[in-house]
Structure 1
Amino acid sequence: MKVKTNCYKIYIKVLSPIHIGSGDSYIPYEYVIKDGYLFFLDREKLTEIIIQKGKYEDFLNVIDSNNILKIRKFIYDNFDNKAVLYKVKVSTLVENEYKERLGQFANIERGGMRRVINALEIKRFVREKFANQVIIPGSSVKGAIRTAVLSYIASRSQQVNANNSSELEQKLLKFWKIPDDPFKNVKVSDFKMVNGEVFIDVVRNTKSFNTDSRGVPVKMELVLPGAIFEGDIKFIEGKDNLILENITDMNFIFDSLEYHYTKVLDFEQKKFEYALLGVDFLNHSGVELMKMGNHSGAMAVTIDGYRKIYNRQTKKIMKSQTTTWRVESLNMPMGWVVISNDIQKLETISTPEIKEINRKEKNKTRLEKTKKDLEEIKKQLLKKYKKSY
């Protein structure tokens, strides 16, 4: 059978900060934070500089202390730009915490070392191995598309009985063995950054954007709104006669994305009380919404009509998520992007201004408003009470 390949140049624009983890972290003795940046260090060059300064013996003594805080302070005091591989902007929140802990040398109890390292680690965005440039892996894009296609097919099909998610996918896509999965003939390249900015901030789990987050703070390297990535999607038609006809059509992919992710957006904006800026894309034909990366949320990665989301607090299976992740300093949700095969259309889409929020000031303002509201309620109750006598 003759095989035909259709290849599309595809562009992704970031609407809210995204993080796609590499599985690696910036560990405390690999970086220095100062002047608004994290400086990632070449350890061999740093060692050479320390030797040149005549401080190698001091360095060995600090390492032998096995105190991460002391090691970090020594590296900070002997920082040199010549040892920097690259730098990344950090939030004021991250830098202030770094400075506060810089001079703390409390004894680390047995078992406490891991906790200290965890508190200082920063989850890294996946990067090209040699260029140190952030990328969006093709597997992340393909996974987001696959979920949308499954949701769209499910919405146009009769209810399917399945014992698990794998069986459900097989029945919806009409394949029975893994080698026959039609998506094996959808090839997605890694997406390289055309332009954009990387930023390190704290993210937390929250129930609402109008309340303070209670979740454990996690430091992450994020790609900021406005960044544009480019890559390729290839559809192989006719190979082994396995691929579903509609999946080879980019319009079908876009219809699937629109169906799935606009429903997720509507749910999240109402449930978690936030507004995603840049939604003017909804009026652009050929530009569709997508959610991807770590902490994109259970609604985004599950099939509409078949959701079984485990709630760890209640230990119950639910049909919707009860929390989401917020980028603290920017007060933004995570994971929203738009995708198109027309870069000019993407460039017309507005993205939010990147401006850090002072949480202390915000909380103070909220408290003052609450006090005023309570005073007003008190006045109204007094008036009502006087009228009744």
Structure 2
Amino acid sequence: MKVERIQYKCTLTPLTPIQIGNGNQIYPYDYVVKNGTYYRINLSEIIEKFPQNIKFKFIKLLENNNMIEIRSFIFENYKEEYGYIYKAPVEREFENKYLEKIKGANKKNDENSFIIEEFIGNVEAKYIPGSTIKGAIRSAFLFNEFDKKRDKYDFKKNLKYDKELNKKIEVTAKPFVLVDRYGKTLMGRNSKNEANKIEAKMLELTKLEPKFDPFKNFIVTDTQVTKENTVIKEISRLMPLGVNNKLSFGAEVLKSEYSDNEDVKLNFDIILKLIPSSLLKKDSLDKGIIKEDVYFEISDIAYALNKKAKKVLEKDLEFFKKNTKYREYEKISKELLEKLEKLEEKNEDRVEYKEALIRFGRGSGFNNTTFNLVNTNEEVYTRVVAGDCPVGWALITFEEV
């Protein structure tokens, strides 16, 4: 039986900094920041290019194993002509802190600010995995099916003392869908079975069975690779007013429209394989897995992404307005919400819904990666930002081939 395929050419435009890590942390002896440029280096190759007298001094430092002196020595003696694996521009705030503390940090946590989270890709180029985009789309689709049915769950809470907040906070032990950077679905501890039941319900299945999951026939390719579109920024976690922010780390992030005034375009494909219902039912007849036919078109995906994005943005705005020192982040979130509302006005006919806001990547938020916004208690105490922007927002456009 023939399976119909519909292919869409898609374009992803980063609106705010996006960070998709590969799990690799780059330490300050594997990079140098000079004159607004980040140089990712191979230390052993650089040593070989040092003049003999400098090389001798450096070997002595290595014997003493003093990492602060080692990184300071590398910074002072490195020259661009010695070579590098790749380079990228650096946000001024990150470079200033780097220069201030390169010869030694005052606090233990300051050392962490020197760690840079590498963006997924290879030594020459970066990309966004299709599985990451697909995971965000699946999460939005399930969330909106959940919300459409107006189900509300009052999940059990545990109280945990938070030193930074100086109070007990509620830690929700609830089922949720959390998507990692590779698009893999992660489950909350001791909640896998209940989470599976909820996902099955949203997909109109009697039980969660990957073979009959409609997203199995939903293919998302990796984006094109990009060589010149990353920048180094400081990623921080914002706390409520009156609580000291926890500095995080540096990261390779995609340049973006709101943060860098850059119009970056990344292309990828979405392929929908439309499986005839008779084929599915024949295979599942004896198993009783499929309750109803479940099909979605690209307009359904765009609609789900925008509906979820609106709820996430509204909650972010509440946080930033409540904490008045975060005006710059409130401004960006408001602009994103206004962009989303214009998309909704432009696409009143859902059939023509071909643009959507999507959020993904590191720091995109608990509300964004879980079912938290359909929980009866949905307060989240922190937000993650890079430079002057909330992280993880992009615009996707879809065009049928």
Same fold (TM over 0.5): yes
Residue pair 2:120, 2:126 contacting (<8 A) in 1 also: yes
Residues 65-144 of structure 1: pairs in structure 2 closer than 5 A: 65-82=64-81, 83-104=83-104, 118-127=112-121, 129-130=122-123, 132-144=124-136
Residue number in structure 1 paired with 2:395:
338
CA deviation string 1:14-52 (max 9, x = no partner): 1111111111122111111110111111334313202x5
Candidates 232, 251, 267, aligned match of 1:220: 251
Residue number in structure 1 paired with 2:280:
241
Q: Which moved more, 1:85-94 or 1:332-341?
A: 85-94
Candidates 232, 254, 263, aligned match of 1:200: 232
Q: Distance in 1 between matches of 2:2 and 2:231?
A: 47
In the TM superposition, residue 256 of structure 1 has moved relative to its aligned partner by 0.9
Residues 316-355 of structure 1: pairs in structure 2 closer than 5 A: 318-327=377-386, 330-342=387-399
In the TM superposition, residue 170 of structure 1 has moved relative to its aligned partner by 1.9
Candidates 262, 275, 300, aligned match of 2:331: 275
- Calculate percent identity across the aligned residue pairs: 25
Q: Distance in 1 between matches of 2:196 and 2:379?
A: 20
In the TM superposition, residue 281 of structure 1 has moved relative to its aligned partner by 5.0
- The TM-score, its normalising length taken from structure 2, stands at 0.71
In the TM superposition, residue 290 of structure 1 has moved relative to its aligned partner by 1.3
Q: Distance in 2 between matches of 1:301 and 1:86?
A: 32
Residue pair 1:207, 1:272 contacting (<8 A) in 2 also: no
Q: Distance in 2 between matches of 1:183 and 1:169?
A: 12
In the TM superposition, residue 140 of structure 1 has moved relative to its aligned partner by 1.4
In the TM superposition, residue 134 of structure 1 has moved relative to its aligned partner by 2.0
Q: Which moved more, 1:238-247 or 1:88-97?
A: 238-247
- Matched AA of 2:18: I
Residue number in structure 2 paired with 1:293:
361
In the TM superposition, residue 252 of structure 1 has moved relative to its aligned partner by 0.9
- Matched AA of 2:245: R
CA deviation string 1:332-389 (max 9, x = no partner): 111111111159xxxxxxxxxxxxxxxxxxxxxxxxxxxxxxxxxxxxxxxxxxxxxx
CA deviation string 1:152-200 (max 9, x = no partner): 2223337498863232112211243233322122111111256973222
3-state SS of paired residue (2:32): strand
Task: Give the aligned length.
Answer: 322
Q: Which moved more, 1:28-37 or 1:163-172?
A: 163-172
Residue number in structure 2 paired with 1:357:
none
Residue number in structure 2 paired with 1:169:
199
The Cα RMSD (Å) is: 3.1
Q: Distance in 2 between matches of 1:54 and 1:195?
A: 36
In the TM superposition, residue 296 of structure 1 has moved relative to its aligned partner by 0.7
CA deviation string 1:219-250 (max 9, x = no partner): 22221323221111112222862898655410
Q: Distance in 1 between matches of 2:8 and 2:227?
A: 20
Residue pair 1:194, 1:228 contacting (<8 A) in 2 also: no
> Quick check: 1:15 aligned with 2:15?
yes
In the TM superposition, residue 300 of structure 1 has moved relative to its aligned partner by 0.9
Structure 1 164/306 Cα, relative in aligned 2: closer, same or farther at 3 Å? farther
Residue number in structure 1 paired with 2:141:
149
- Matched AA of 1:79: Y
3-state SS of paired residue (2:364): coil
Q: Distance in 1 between matches of 2:194 and 2:373?
A: 14
Q: Which moved more, 1:147-156 or 1:169-178?
A: 169-178
Q: Distance in 1 between matches of 2:391 and 2:105?
A: 35
CA deviation string 1:242-267 (max 9, x = no partner): 89865541011111112211111122
Residue number in structure 1 paired with 2:62:
63
Residue pair 2:39, 2:86 contacting (<8 A) in 1 also: yes
3-state SS of paired residue (1:176): coil
3-state SS of paired residue (1:171): helix
Structure 1 289/212 Cα, relative in aligned 2: closer, same or farther at 3 Å? farther
In the TM superposition, residue 56 of structure 1 has moved relative to its aligned partner by 3.3
Q: Distance in 1 between matches of 2:151 and 2:356?
A: 27
In the TM superposition, residue 135 of structure 1 has moved relative to its aligned partner by 1.2
Q: Identify the structure with bigger relative contact order (alpha carbons < 8 Å, sequence gap 6+).
A: 2
Unaligned runs of 5+ in 2: 154-174, 176-192, 258-263, 282-289, 322-329, 348-353
In the TM superposition, residue 148 of structure 1 has moved relative to its aligned partner by 0.9
3-state SS of paired residue (1:341): strand
In the TM superposition, residue 149 of structure 1 has moved relative to its aligned partner by 0.5
- Matched AA of 1:144: A
Structure 1 341/319 Cα, relative in aligned 2: closer, same or farther at 3 Å? same
Structure 1 196/253 Cα, relative in aligned 2: closer, same or farther at 3 Å? farther
Unaligned runs of 5+ in 1: 309-317, 344-389
Q: Distance in 1 between matches of 2:116 and 2:227?
A: 23
Query: In terms of Rg, which structure is larger?
Result: 1
Residue number in structure 2 paired with 1:182:
214
Q: Distance in 2 between matches of 1:176 and 1:78?
A: 58
Residue pair 1:68, 1:117 contacting (<8 A) in 2 also: no
Residue pair 2:366, 2:372 contacting (<8 A) in 1 also: no
- Matched AA of 1:205: R
Q: Distance in 2 between matches of 1:133 and 1:246?
A: 38
